Amino acid sequence: MNIDLTGKTILVTGASRGIGRGIAEALGKSGATVAVHYRKNNELAETLAKEIGNDSRAFQADLEKPEDCNRLFEAVIATFGRLDVLVNNAGIFLNSPLESDRWLADWNTTLDVNLRATALLSRLAILHFQQRGGGRIINISSRAAFRGDNPEHLAYAASKAGMVALTRSIARGYGKNGITAFLIAPGWVKTDMNKETIERLGEATITRGLALNKLTEPKDLAPMIVLLASGLADHATGTTIDINAGSYVH
């Protein structure tokens, strides 16, 4: 099935690399105009926006700062005049043992980026969508939201679990305004962010915990985001979609 997103403007946070880049590329190939958010990788983001085409642009913001979340959303609306879909993908994965002097600081930073920024951008999107007759929010969470994570990543698991309740609450509260919300729960994904850990543990060790023979890649997640962005799956609003190579059922 070919999905045509021509005419839709979509903001993807954390889009300069990894999962976000794969999502942005797939959305662009389907005809969408993509607001490519980045924090530091200006060159990567600008290049990606040009490659996507469709009048896509790059937008800088540090999502740890509430004022930057507001500025990002305002900049996207000022540039394109509208937003049809918000993809909250940006996230951090800090290693924070209980004994670490930075434990509390890392906890706060993780929740600020992974959960608070998602909530702030979702709030702005909902207010915008209400004026336009509807829109879609797609949140990239993690299997850690449901099965937990290791002791060094308590904050990460907690932040991703918070996204579950947020997504379901948006779906329940605003569906009659034409606003739908979805959650994607990846597991191990072969990205730059996970490269060091994957190399340390070894792919063979990780895949032993999966139902499939290879790690998930960004391209494995992207088609589902394209489908959800299209509106063809709106009656799945509030749902969680596991894309983690069957790590729950293995």
Strand order in the sheet with 33-38: 57-60, 33-38, 9-12, 85-88, 135-140, 179-186, 240-243
pLDDT at position 195 is 62
pLDDT at position 250 is 40
Partners of residue 182 on adjacent β-strands: 138
φ, ψ dihedrals at 99, nearest 5°: -80, -10
Question: Could you say which residues of the chain have pLDDT below 50?
Answer: 250
φ, ψ dihedrals at 139, nearest 5°: -105, 130
pLDDT at position 55 is 98
pLDDT in tens, 137-190: 999 999 999 999 999 999 999 999 999 999 999 999 999 999 999 999 998 786
pLDDT at position 230 is 98
pLDDT at position 208 is 82
φ, ψ dihedrals at 78, nearest 5°: -65, -35
DSSP state of 188: S
pLDDT at position 190 is 62
The answer for residues whose C-beta is within 8 angstroms of residue 243's C-beta and 6 or more apart is 184, 185, 186, 187, 216, 220, 221, 224
Choose the catalytic residue: 38, 156, 174, 248: 156
For Cα atoms 177, 179, 184, give the angle at the middle one, nearest 5 degrees.
Answer: 160
User: Is 156 known to be catalytic?
Assistant: yes
Sketch the domain layout of the chain as residue ranges.
9-243
Fold of 9-243: Rossmann fold (3.40.50)
